Amino acid sequence: MTEVTGSWASGLQGEAGHVALADWQELQRRSRRENIGRAWYKFSRNPLSVAGLVIVLTIVLLAVLAPYVTPYPHHAGPFTDFANAKLPPNPRYLFGTDTIGRDILTRVIFGFQDALLMGIVVLALVVPPGVLLGLVAGYNQGTWIDTVIMRITDIFLAVPPLILALAIASVLKPNLMNSMMAVSLMWWPWYTRLVYGLTSQLRNEYFVKSAETLGASKAHILFREILPNCVSPIFTKMSLDMGWVILIGSALSFVGLGVQPPKPGLGTMVADGARYLPDQWWIPVFPALGIVVIVLGFNLLGDGLRDLLAAEEV
Partner 1 sequence: MAWSPSEMTLGDQATLFKELAMRLVTFILRRALHSIFVLLGLSVVIFGISRILPGDPARMAVGARAPQWVVDNLRAQMHLDEPLFVQYGYWLADAVQGKFGISLVTRREVAEDIKEFFPATLELALFAGILMGGFGILLGTISAQHKDRWIDNVVRVLSYLGVVTPAFVFAIIFMLVFGYWLKWLPTIGRLSEGLTRPPVITGLMTVDALLAGDLVVFWDALKHLILPAVALAMGGLAQEARITRATMSDNLTKDYIAAERALGIPERVIMGKYLLKPSLIPTVSILGLDFAGTLSSAFLVELIFNWPGISRYGINAMLRKDLNAIAAVILVLGVVFIVVNIIVDIVVAYLDPRIRLSAERSE
**CA gap 69, 85 in Å, rounded:** 22
Q: Pick from 12, 100, 120, 164: which binds partner 1 (CB under 8 A)?
A: 164
Subset of residues 98 to 137 that bind partner 1, contact rule: CB under 8 A:
none
**CA gap 227, 224 in Å, rounded:** 6
**CA gap 28, 20 in Å, rounded:** 12
Return the amino acid letter for 308.
L
Q: Is there binding between residue 284 and partner 1 (CB under 8 A)? A: yes
Whether omega before 128 lies within 30 degrees of 0, making that bond cis, reads no
Q: Is there binding between residue 62 and partner 1 (CB under 8 A)? A: no
CB crowding 131-168: b at 16 or more within 10 Å, else e:
bbbbbbbbbbbeeeebeebbeebeebeeeebeebbbeb
Q: Is there binding between residue 158 and partner 1 (CB under 8 A)? A: yes
| CB contact at 8 A, 84 and 74 | no
For the CB of residue 169, give the shortest distance to partner 1 in the complex, in Å.
Answer: 8
Q: Is there binding between residue 183 and partner 1 (CB under 8 A)? A: no
Q: Is there binding between residue 53 and partner 1 (CB under 8 A)? A: no
Q: Pick from 100, 274, 307, 313: which binds partner 1 (CB under 8 A)?
A: 274
Q: Is there binding between residue 95 and partner 1 (CB under 8 A)? A: no
For the CB of residue 19, give the shortest distance to partner 1 in the complex, in Å.
Answer: 47
**CA gap 238, 314 in Å, rounded:** 10
For the CB of residue 267, give the shortest distance to partner 1 in the complex, in Å.
Answer: 8
If the CB atoms of residues 124 and 163 are measured against partner 1, the closer one turns out to be: 163
Give me the residues that bind partner 1 (CB under 8 A), please: 151-152, 154-156, 158-164, 166-172, 243, 247, 250-251, 254-257, 270-271, 274, 277-278, 281, 284-285, 288-289, 291-292, 295-296, 299
